[in-house]
Structure 1
Amino acid sequence: MFITLKAEKVLLGLPTHKDRAKASKKAIIYGLASGTCTDSKSLAENIPGNITVQDLYAQQLIGFYDYAKKKFHKDTKNSMLEDLKNGKKIYWGRYI
């Protein structure tokens, strides 16, 4: 199975099903789905399930990953991605 570098980074950045579920939910709420691309197709192929459904899920994960790695908490300076992985509650307005 072929996996792109970006898809691999997303899988490593969101390693658990719980992390992916949270990221997907935030991506839906905030409109972060990236659209179908080589990376989303590659990621979808590496997540178990229906490939059509998984492509949409992959788009959401990529969108969240790209956004969250660039946003940092106003006070702690932790990235949104790190806070999500560490089980912290994400309050959208506290990240810049």
Structure 2
Amino acid sequence: MNKTRINAPLLESKIVLCGFKSKKAFAEAVGVTPHTISNLLNGLYMPGHALISAIYQTLQLTPQEGTDIFFSVNLRSTKVNEVETGCVK
């Protein structure tokens, strides 16, 4: 299975800093199931635009925080691969 990665530690820290006492409480605020949040944090699920938007709004993320959480890991891997292979995919 190919795991999709987000910056889960950063997302979890933002969840706590925003006062959510549990993943269940956060999931309810976002409008998804706790299972979805668990899969997201465990790297088994990459959210679509609607969920990313709901998380942005719920946690009041800055654009930089959102990029760091949802896109930096994938962009970094892509860039490293480009440098190593000399190819842009």
If the length of structure 2 is used for normalisation, what is the TM-score? 0.30
Per residue, is there more helix in 1 or in 2? 2
If the length of structure 1 is used for normalisation, what is the TM-score? 0.28
Higher RCO (CA-CA < 8 Å; seq separation 6+): 2
- Higher gyration radius (CA): 2
